Amino acid sequence: KAQLKRLGFALDWSRELATCEPDYYGQEQALFLDLYKAGLVYRKESAVNWDPVDMTVLANEQVIDGRGWRSGALVEKRKLNQWFLKITQFADELLAGLGELKNWPEKVRLMQENWIGKSQGLRCTFRFVDSSDGIEVYTTRPDTMFGASFVAIAADHPFARKMAESVPELADFIAECKQGGTTAAELETAEKKGFNTGYSVEHPLKKSWHLPVYVANFVLMDYGTGAVFGCPAHDQRDLDFARKYELPVTRVVAEGDETDPVFHGNEAYTGPGRIVNSEWLDGMTIDEAKADIIAKAAHEGWGQAETQYRLRDWGVSRQRYWGTPIPFIHCADCGVVPVPKSQLPVTLPEDVDFKTPGNPLLRHPTWRHVDCPQCGKAAERETDTLDTFVDSSWYFLRFASQPSDRPFDPEVIKQWLPVEQYIGGIEHAILHLLYARFWTRALNHIGLIDVKEPFASLFTQGMVTHETYSRIDPANGQPIYFSPAEVERGGETAKLKADGQPVEIGRVIKMSKSKKNVVDPD
Ligand code: ZN
């Protein structure tokens, strides 16, 4: 703050706020309750990304290459009761709204578009041989159906779970699948593994073709139907899988005269072309063939067109102290009860113990014990706190207007919003910038503000970087970082000024508090 003042910026310091103060997070709790009332907040048990070092859940956006964005620890899958914000209800709006953000960098708009991931495809059924039951499959490439050589289902798929009850080898395989991360990027790069169930399904276009059904680690239960048909020639994951398990690989899309049905090599062809080796579809473009198959499936009753999004609801529960307490109370009789607004803010206790890992709110001797606001019996506070990205999703409204009795004055917001020029790093393209757009639309949806987009223009500045200096702590194997000021640098080596012993020189990365690779602006 002193440095910003010395730089002489014309900032109005009377509007300064801190999201960790009850003045701010109490108003955030009020907004959270408003969103709950409007059906935009819900709680459900779900598989989550668990950071074993920070001992907390992370959103998919916060898992980078399978590691926690802050701790760098390998992320595990766990099942927990979690609070969610219904960002998917706004998926289409958030996508369409990008078209109006003319003063945003093209790159950021494209990243958000890909993250939301709208796809038009076909939902259809592959029937088990000699059975009326089948497996529902979702595909964005119905045009490649004649190239199908297997069906793969997620480890969490009900059929897989049921079968695992009597097949221990499958139960072991499913447990093994759960050790990987849950992100799409991770599934992309992990080694493809499958378990042959021994069951076969009929190809919907040619009943005499029987395809084997695998449980596979690269299929996600929460995307589509949790089942796909594999067309190895034109999908890299399917090709990796087919080569590993020696399944047929048939070319059905070709550019030029490369029409040999036997597909060679280990690189799937995903480009444009004409349909080949597909009976009546031969010669059609990809789009023509998609439309033809979708129409045929609808006409014959085995499938229909469906739009899907890659975007998932935003899991906002965090099991840690530093966040806004989620304003709910768990009562044995009444269930999950919102804290009455008259009792806000729910403040964090200040006498907390950080020595033991885990959530200090859960271990605090008195904090969580309260009376149920509905029946008055002894009950317990929710001990999860909100993802701190919630705090940054609406602070710009609070800068514009900060009454003490409500989050903001809508009349004042009308004069100030949208923010004319916003500045932030590209690393926020699918995190903060998408969350803030969602939060603004959600507040608009419940009638609290007039605007739908928070930032009219966006400028993504570069990042200030520096190499890192560290040593491994022999006690826990974790790195201890040192700031450039603590280190003496010479040639290819560096040593700590305090003891003259060497420290390891790490990569040049974005300056951050946790890595201490920061040079003081002074
Ligand atoms: Zn109660």
CA of 450 to the centre of ligand 1 (A): 37
CA of 44 to the centre of ligand 1 (A): 20
State the alpha helices, DSSP H only, in 249-371: 286-300, 360-363
CA of 371 to the centre of ligand 1 (A): 8
Instruction: Place 50 in a pLDDT band, splitting at 50, 70 and 90.
Output: confident
CA of 372 to the centre of ligand 1 (A): 5
Q: Return d(Cα 116, Cα 204) in angstroms, integer.
A: 30
Q: Return d(Cα 494, Cα 75) in angstroms, integer.
A: 32
Q: Return d(Cα 94, Cα 88) in angstroms, integer.
A: 9
What value does the mean pLDDT of the chain take? 92
**Residue 187 pLDDT:** 63
**Residue 1 pLDDT:** 87
Percent of the chain exceeding pLDDT 90 equals 76
What is the rounded average pLDDT of the residues 420-430?
90
Please tell me which residue, 408 or 463, carries the higher pLDDT value: 408
CA of 105 to the centre of ligand 1 (A): 50
**Residue 490 pLDDT:** 87
CA of 463 to the centre of ligand 1 (A): 51
**Residue 91 pLDDT:** 97
CA of 331 to the centre of ligand 1 (A): 5
Identify each DSSP E strand in 52-92 by its residue range.
56-58, 63-64, 67-68, 76-85
**Residue 428 pLDDT:** 87
What is the rounded average pLDDT of the residues 330-346?
97
**Residue 180 pLDDT:** 61
Residue 7 scores a pLDDT above 60: yes
Q: Return d(Cα 391, Cα 19) in angstroms, integer.
A: 6
What is the rounded average pLDDT of the residues 491-499?
93
pLDDT digits (tens, 9 = 90+) for 111-124: 999 999 998 899 99
pLDDT digits (tens, 9 = 90+) for 300-326: 999 999 998 989 999 999 888 989 999
Instruction: Place 346 in a pLDDT band, splitting at 50, 70 and 90.
Output: very high
Residue 344 scores a pLDDT above 60: yes
Residue 512 scores a pLDDT above 60: yes
Residue 107 scores a pLDDT above 70: yes
Instruction: Place 184 in a pLDDT band, splitting at 50, 70 and 90.
Output: low
CA of 335 to the centre of ligand 1 (A): 7
**Residue 426 pLDDT:** 86
Is the distance from CB of 394 to CB of 407 less than 8 angstroms? yes
**Residue 69 pLDDT:** 84
Indicate if the alpha-carbon torsion angle 120, 87, 311, 163 is positive or negative.
negative
Q: Which long-range contacts (CB under 8 A, 24 or more apart) does 110-117 make?
A: 111/429, 111/430, 112/429, 112/430, 112/433, 112/434, 112/437, 114/310, 115/61, 115/310, 115/311, 115/430, 115/434, 116/91, 116/309, 116/310, 116/311, 117/308, 117/309, 117/310, 117/311
**Residue 113 pLDDT:** 95
Is the distance from CB of 457 to CB of 439 less than 8 angstroms? no
CA of 345 to the centre of ligand 1 (A): 20
CA of 83 to the centre of ligand 1 (A): 20
CA of 378 to the centre of ligand 1 (A): 8
**Residue 186 pLDDT:** 62
**Residue 181 pLDDT:** 58
**Residue 183 pLDDT:** 56
CA of 333 to the centre of ligand 1 (A): 5
**Residue 47 pLDDT:** 78
Percent of the chain exceeding pLDDT 70 equals 98
Q: Which residues contact 407 (CB under 8 A, 6 or more apart)?
A: 27, 28, 30, 31, 394, 397, 398, 448
Query: Which residues pair with residue 315 across a beta bridge?
Result: 84
Is the distance from CB of 276 to CB of 254 less than 8 angstroms? yes
What is the rounded average pLDDT of the residues 175-191?
68
CA of 31 to the centre of ligand 1 (A): 23
What does the block give as tokens for 428? 């926020």
Residue 222 scores a pLDDT above 80: no
What does the block give as tokens for 304? 């229909």
**Residue 447 pLDDT:** 97
**Residue 96 pLDDT:** 97
CA of 334 to the centre of ligand 1 (A): 4
Of 96-105, 173-182, 448-457, the least confident: 173-182
Instruction: Place 59 in a pLDDT band, splitting at 50, 70 and 90.
Output: confident
Residues surrounding ion ligand 1 at CB below 5 Å: 331, 333-334, 372, 374-375
**Residue 203 pLDDT:** 96
Indicate the helix (H) or strand (E) that contains 472.
Answer: strand 465-472
CA of 368 to the centre of ligand 1 (A): 15
Cα within 13 Å of Cα(470), Cβ side: 17
CA of 81 to the centre of ligand 1 (A): 20
Burial of 482-494, coded b for 16+ CB within 10 Å and e otherwise, reads: bebeebeeeeeeb
CA of 338 to the centre of ligand 1 (A): 11
Q: Return d(Cα 128, Cα 203) in angstroms, integer.
A: 9
CA of 369 to the centre of ligand 1 (A): 13
Residue 182 scores a pLDDT above 70: no
CA of 37 to the centre of ligand 1 (A): 18
CA of 344 to the centre of ligand 1 (A): 18
CA of 329 to the centre of ligand 1 (A): 9
Fill in the DSSP letter of residue 60. Answer: G
**Residue 463 pLDDT:** 83
What does the block give as tokens for 64? 């980078």
Fill in the DSSP letter of residue 128. Answer: B
Is the distance from CB of 440 to CB of 473 less than 8 angstroms? no
Is the distance from CB of 509 to CB of 515 less than 8 angstroms? yes
Rg (Cα) of the chain, in Å, rounded? 27
CA of 43 to the centre of ligand 1 (A): 18
CA of 386 to the centre of ligand 1 (A): 23
CA of 324 to the centre of ligand 1 (A): 23
Is the distance from CB of 111 to CB of 430 less than 8 angstroms? yes
**Residue 79 pLDDT:** 82
CA of 33 to the centre of ligand 1 (A): 18
**Residue 212 pLDDT:** 97
Residue 75 scores a pLDDT above 90: no
**Residue 268 pLDDT:** 95
Q: Which residues contact 246 (CB under 8 A, 6 or more apart)?
A: none
CA of 377 to the centre of ligand 1 (A): 6
Please tell me which residue, 181 or 229, carries the higher pLDDT value: 229
CA of 375 to the centre of ligand 1 (A): 4
Cis peptide before 418 (omega within 30 of 0): yes
CA of 493 to the centre of ligand 1 (A): 64
| Distance separating the N- and C-terminal Cα atoms of the chain | 12
CA of 501 to the centre of ligand 1 (A): 61
CA of 45 to the centre of ligand 1 (A): 22
